[in-house]
Structure 1
Amino acid sequence: MYYQPKRNLLDKKYIMVTGAGDGIGREAALTYARHGASVLLLGRTEHKLNTVKQTIEEAGGREARVLVLDLACTEPAPYQRLAKSLTDEIPHLDGLINNAGLLGEIAPMAKQTPACWSEVMAVNINGTFMLTQVLLPLLLKASSPSLIFSTSSVGRQGRANWGAYSVSKFATEGMMQVLAEEYPAS
């Protein structure tokens, strides 16, 4: 016998999924919606997010909200505006799934281009940090919030040719550890 969650397990829960337009993010958003969550779909490609929103609604899920934001953005203002808008619209945030990320180049360190390196770090670390930071107050209003980060085995054990991605996932692991120490489960 295996665990089968109730269809309404996440009823009245607000969950944001980054990178929700495709891949793991899309599947996470669809799954949360199937179990009753109000899903906030965040990504940089509006038409992909709208497709996920439509899929959720056609399946009978709650109306999802599309939030367009490119985590490559290095200015804090768009993140702050997003948090302010959400604070005005929802009472709390039950979950934040930091899934968005860039792979970059699979090449030896000597061949990693600075532009690609910078973009991977901007999205995978800096954007994720800035989004998490501005959403912490909303998360802390929830009775039992969850903060989840997507990472990789190359973030725990470096592997040749994985360059910026591997280093960004090491940093993600570190960010998770720091936040776990700062906000222990009660």
Structure 2
Amino acid sequence: MTTFDDRVALVTGAGSGIGRAMAVAFAAAGGRVVVCDIDQERAAETVAEITAASGDDGRAVAVTADIADEDSVAALVETAIGAYGRVDVLCNNAGIIDSMALPADISPAMWDRVLRVNLTGTFLVTHAVLPHMLRHRRGAIVNTASEAGVRGGAAGAAYTASKHGVVGLTRSVAWAYAKDGIRCNAILPGATLTNIAEGATFDQAGAARLSPVLALGDQFAQPEQMADAALFLASDAASFINGAIVPVDGGWSAG
């Protein structure tokens, strides 16, 4: 019930980390994968990994897109439909981290950028894909939220607000389209070994204030463990799970 033969998955942020693990997992389960990333080289590397494992040149296609830009998203979905004719699964995974700055210290520019990518970007891709899912009256959306989407002290102000927004969007889409054969769920990753913080500069005062909560989540997951959860939620095995916000954090949220 977790096979994806003849189904098409679009994964954003699929050039590395959790997104790459999701793309590889969907391909291994028989799906066709649209590998979306803002970094062309990394997207191509993911496709090469899928092709090498499957021996199928048509198993995945790389698309470079900025999910924060509406025109770029429109081109992404147009390319996906042109390549495979449909989108059965959407994994809204692309996102950026903030500087860990607290509300009084974060710059408006950083606030705008983080919200634009993490929340508005998730909306834009969902908005573009939904008409195609509605046409087929079938679809599964899995959003990558965060422990910061249900906590106030697990990240800086912008990231926290953006991921709370992703949780709300997930529930809205789930409720709105449940009778149309479309499900929408979200995973809440805990600390995971990815490159999301690559090149980031952190606000020391904010990081110090957040450290008691962050220390509770010091058990690190592999990206593949997040991909496994997404694969399940997108599969027929989860056919009656809709609007769920699922912690994938090794028990961090249970404490």
TM-score normalised by length of structure 1:
0.87
Which residue in the other structure is 1:72 paired with?
68
Residue from 156, 166, 175 that aligns with 1:162: 156
- 2-side partners of 1:17 and 1:183: how far apart? 20
1:95-123 CA-partner distances (Å, limit 9, x unpaired):
00000011111122222122211111110
Asked if 2 retains the 8 angstrom alpha-carbon contact of 1:99 and 1:149, the reply is yes
CA distance in 1, matches of 2:124, 2:68: 11
Q: Is the 8 A contact 2:68 2:124 kept in 1?
A: no
Residue identity in the other structure for 1:69? A
Give CA-to-partner distance per residue, 1:106-156, whole Å, 9 cap, x none: 122222122211111110011111111011122224464101101112211
Runs of 4+ in 1 over 4 A off after TM superposition: none
If the length of structure 2 is used for normalisation, what is the TM-score? 0.65
Specify the SS of the correspondent of 2:159: helix
- Once the two structures are superposed, residues 18-74 of structure 1 have per-residue CA deviations (whole angstroms, 9 ceiling, x without a partner) of 10011110101111111111000011001001001000001015431111111232x
Per-residue deviation at 1:82? 2.9
How far residue 84 of structure 1 moved from its aligned partner, in angstroms, is: 3.1
SS in 1 for 2:26: helix
Residue 161 (structure 1) shift: 5.2
1:3-28 Cα distance to aligned partner (Å, 9 max, x none): xx77xx11111000010011110101
Aligned counterpart for 2:121 among listed residues 124, 127, 144 = 127
Do 2:10 and 2:80's aligned partners in 1 also have CA atoms closer than 8 Å? no
2:98 paired residue among 77, 84, 104? 104
Query: Among 176, 190, 194, which residue is 1:182 paired with?
Result: 176
Q: In structure 2, what is the Cα distance between the partners aligned to 1:114 and 1:160?
A: 20
SS at match of 2:62: strand
Of 48, 52, 55, which residue of structure 1 is paired with 2:49?
A: 55
Structure 2 unmatched ranges of 5 or more: 182-255
Whether 2:40 is the aligned partner of 1:46: answer yes
Q: Which amino acid aligns with 1:176?
A: T
Q: 1:164 to 1:117 in 2, by over 3 A?
A: same
In structure 2, distance between residues paired with 1:85 and 1:67: 8
Decide whether the 8 Å contact of 2:73 with 2:125 is kept in 1: yes
Aligned-partner SS, 1:97: strand
Matched residue of 1:166: which SS? helix
Structure 1 stretches lacking a partner, 5+ long: none
Counterpart in 1 of 2:107?
113
Once the two structures are aligned, what percentage of the paired residues are identical? 30
Aligned length: 178
For the aligned residue pairs, the C-alpha RMSD in angstroms reads: 1.9
Aligned to 2:78: 84
**2 CA distance for matches of 1:100 and 1:88?**
22
2:147 to 153, 164, 167: 153
The answer as to whether partners of 1:93 and 1:142 remain within 8 angstroms in 2 is no
CA 1:160/1:31 → structure 2, altered by over 3 Å: closer, same or farther?
A: closer
**Residue 140 of structure 1: aligned partner:** 134
Contact 2:92 2:142 in 1 (8 A): yes
Distance (Å, rounded) in 2 between the aligned partners of 1:177 and 1:61? 38
Give the Cα separation in 2 of the matches to 1:178 and 1:60.
Answer: 36
Aligned to 2:202: none
The question of 1:21 aligning with 2:15 is answered: yes
